[in-house]
Structure 1
Amino acid sequence: MKKVLLLIIVTANAFVYSQKSRQENQLDSIFTFMYNQNQFNGTVLISDKGKIIYNKGFGFSNEVKKTKNNSTTIYELASCSKQFTAAAIVLLKRDGKLDYKDKISDYLPELEFWNNVTILDLIRHTSGIPEYLIDLSKNIDDNTIATNQDLINYYAVKKDSLQFLPGQKHRYINTNYALLATIIERVSGIEYSRFLEKNIFKPLKMKNTFVYNRRQSPKKIKNYAIGYVWAKNTFDKVIYEAPGYDDKMVYKLDGIVGTAKVNSTVEDLYKWINTLKNNTFFSPDEFDLMTSVTKTTEGQNINYGFGLDLSKGENKFSFGHTGSWDGYSTFVYHNMVKDRTIIVLQNFKMGTYPYANINEILDYKPLSIEYKRKINSPESEIKKYIGTYIDEKDEKQFITYLDGYLVHNSSRVAWDMRFFPVDENEFQAVRQGGTDGVLKFIKQEDGKMKLEMLQYGSLMGSGIRK
């Protein structure tokens, strides 16, 4: 009997190991093919039922030194930083130093003209406050790095009206979390970075997590990933302000914290997710509030909690966030029902993640085609589509060739968008966050070539080659 029981246990363990190995191989195959066609560059960690089943890095953390991304590489989290800003507010509320219903003018008297906006409005993006990203950068000298106080001073002078009454609508605005960071500093009496370090990162042993403004206060950090974009009309990876890309916005806004600027690893973030789901740092009541779906005064659901996107319903509960800033693309997600965590950190603006395929693999379902594979097409076959295409409004679409890809620009916007061949006359876009885009070329009866631009199957524009 003991021998039979032992055989059953060994057989069961072998089956589980075989299934796990199969999942790991499938995940590795998908991420490898996406890396090979310029759609992934970073580190991924995936756990299912509380166990890590995949943790691997792809590409380089530093394109000059050719250092490779790995499981302990540190990345800027972009908007995934917001959950830590909101968490800091929870801790201050716990200590009785503020209340969620407090008016922000109590702490930011410079903005007293927004006197009906509350802290909770900032947290849930129901404030009506305008977005600072574009307007502020336009009003800053190219050699100046703005801070949170500069942002507050800007609006104190400008005195913009609210875009809607507080609580009336939900509109995701980065300014909300920049203001929360300053409230944290003024209430606690210490810098935002120090507050997070002292009250969150250190207690949770998140040893490689910190606030970092890499242009304002550059440091030498071991195994740090630099955020990259493609230089114009090349496949060279550069930083935003490099001559080949020449965008100064992220440089000029580098000193602003709260909305971004937390840096971390997939392994530290996994500790954070486990802390949230197990209520080991926040009480069940605090976590329930942080992940509550609420409503606007107009009755619309707000599927956004305390720095967390939410999906809740019958047998459904997940939370997480995405981020894109300064050449980084991030995704942090946890499914409470399936006890499943997916963390993807990338140091490449155009990076994406095969979310549907990951879940299909973990659920033992057939794989769908989430991202099409690049086919081997002769240069001459690709080049036959280059040229200038003109639509009925006389807008020009410029199609050029670059190292096996087609590049799309227009007379209206210099998109510099790259497309790879997936069929004889069809090309798939490499786009930020994996947003779908297709160029389709159709030869007309009169011999002229027609260009169709599609997004998620819908026709967005067209033109005839002249």
Structure 2
Amino acid sequence: MQLLTLQIDELLSTLQDNNEFSGSVLLAKESKIIFNRGYGFANREHQVMNSTDTKFRIGSITKQFTAMAIMMLVEQGILRVEENLVRFTPSFSYADQITIHHLLTHTSGIPNITQIPNFLEIMKQPATLEKSINLFLNLEPDFKSGSRFQYTNSGYILLAYIIENSTGLSYGEFLKQYIFEPLNMINTGCDDHKEIILHRAQGYEFDSCLVNAAYIDMTLPVGGGNLYSTTGDLFKWDQALYTECLVKKETLEKMFSSYDFGYGYGWFINNNENGRQIHHGGGIVGFKNKITRLVDERVTLIILNNLSTVDVDKLSHEILRIYSLT
């Protein structure tokens, strides 16, 4: 393992020195963490380095927690994945044609909120879930629900609305009470620029030179991309998914089925030469992340990064290549 650690550190140190990576990386085999280190700056103005304690916005990795919350409510008999949206959004013209399953699998046809006009201005404004869903619910669907896959943040924002509508709890309160606290994920939560969040990373991007990332009010992407976390907390999450501490095995199997389009409930599902791979990226202004689970080998790779130009897919592939050769 020492050779593996040295090779990964050499790769990440070189990328750090070239401003091609800034973040934290964790690699684990079964329940043992092999590698967990930070690189680059969490805050460049104050020269604070990234570490294993740094909290990053995880973007669309949020979706797997939203999916888990929905499936917990399904197990409790509060929801059914087959039911349509009439119960929750009766004024939506297509509510009787779209189900919770369609939202979970990105097959609803609802346009992506990030594609609506003036989104770059809209994202700077505070929003309630009702306000957010009203931005896209009155739009014409891009296709008939269930006919094809089209990745959309809108569906997961709507799922967060359904969670709140069904439980009387806020999205953040539900996740904290039923997922984060049971798993002792004390470094994970809903991002809010007003709160003092210790060890929170600043996001960066390139605009002819390195600059602070554009501002987004994190009340807008609730359910689709509003969480922050650390590598250690996401490893706790990964380990829990091998158990029945949150939901039953049968429910997990439903979440990790590909449903013909290579996407389950909050996860991309691939079968390749390395066996079954369950993964998801997470990009939001100034951040680009990825979690990869090689479930047959019980190998986990978590990349959290606060530099939006980093190719996390390429980096993930390279680290797993190094792992496979050592």
With the length of structure 2 as denominator, give the TM-score of the two structures.
0.93
Fraction of identical pairs, as percent: 29
* 1:344 equivalent in alignment to 2:303: yes
Counterpart position of 1:229: 205
Answer with 76-85 or 141-150: which moved more. Answer: 141-150
* 1:41 equivalent in alignment to 2:22: yes
Distance of 1:60 and 1:138 partners within structure 2: 29
Counterpart position of 1:238: 212
Choose between structure 1 and 2: higher strand proportion: 1
Q: Secondary structure at the match of 1:324?
A: strand
Identify the match of residue 223 of structure 2 among 258, 262, 267: 258
Distance of 1:141 and 1:23 partners within structure 2: 45
Deviation of the 1:254 alpha carbon: 4.4
Matches within 5 A, 1:387-426: none
Distance of 1:348 and 1:25 partners within structure 2: 23
Q: Secondary structure at the match of 2:185?
A: coil
Contact 1:108–1:183 (Cα < 8 Å) also in 2 = no
Identify the match of residue 321 of structure 2 among 360, 372, 375: 360
Deviation of the 1:154 alpha carbon: 2.9
* 1:325 equivalent in alignment to 2:325: no
Distance of 1:313 and 1:138 partners within structure 2: 37
Contact 1:128–1:162 (Cα < 8 Å) also in 2 = yes
Q: CA 1:96–1:54 in 2, change beyond 3 Å: closer, same or farther?
A: same
Matches within 5 A, 1:2-401: 20-135=1-116, 137-138=118-119, 144-156=125-137, 159-214=138-193, 218-230=194-206, 232-235=207-210, 237-241=211-215, 250-251=216-217, 254-294=219-259, 301-312=260-271, 316-353=275-312, 354-364=315-325
Deviation of the 1:140 alpha carbon: 5.8
Unaligned runs of 5+ in 2: none
Deviation of the 1:313 alpha carbon: 6.3
Deviation of the 1:49 alpha carbon: 3.9
Q: CA 1:130–1:225 in 2, change beyond 3 Å: closer, same or farther?
A: same
Answer with 313-322 or 55-64: which moved more. Answer: 313-322
Q: CA 1:138–1:324 in 2, change beyond 3 Å: closer, same or farther?
A: closer
Counterpart position of 1:390: none
Ranges of 4+ aligned residues in structure 1 off by more than 4 Å:
138-143
Q: Secondary structure at the match of 1:88?
A: helix
How many residues were matched structurally? 324
Deviation of the 1:220 alpha carbon: 1.3
Contact 1:39–1:351 (Cα < 8 Å) also in 2 = yes
Q: CA 1:137–1:88 in 2, change beyond 3 Å: closer, same or farther?
A: farther
Distance of 2:36 and 2:286 partners within structure 1: 22
Unaligned runs of 5+ in 1: 1-19, 242-249, 295-300, 366-466
Deviation of the 1:43 alpha carbon: 0.3
Contact 2:27–2:35 (Cα < 8 Å) also in 1 = yes
Contact 1:328–1:347 (Cα < 8 Å) also in 2 = yes
Q: Secondary structure at the match of 2:198?
A: coil
Q: CA 1:141–1:84 in 2, change beyond 3 Å: closer, same or farther?
A: closer
Deviation of the 1:146 alpha carbon: 3.0
Give the partner amino acid of 1:238: N
Q: CA 1:143–1:319 in 2, change beyond 3 Å: closer, same or farther?
A: closer
Larger radius of gyration: 1
Distance of 1:339 and 1:205 partners within structure 2: 21
Contact 1:42–1:57 (Cα < 8 Å) also in 2 = yes
Q: Secondary structure at the match of 1:176?
A: helix
Deviation of the 1:360 alpha carbon: 2.4
Contact 1:128–1:164 (Cα < 8 Å) also in 2 = yes
- RMSD, aligned CA: 2.0
Contact 1:140–1:146 (Cα < 8 Å) also in 2 = no
Contact 1:111–1:155 (Cα < 8 Å) also in 2 = no
Deviation of the 1:198 alpha carbon: 0.6
Contact 1:321–1:332 (Cα < 8 Å) also in 2 = yes
Q: Secondary structure at the match of 2:144?
A: coil
Deviation of the 1:73 alpha carbon: 0.7
Deviation of the 1:184 alpha carbon: 0.4
Distance of 1:70 and 1:143 partners within structure 2: 29
Q: Secondary structure at the match of 1:363?
A: helix
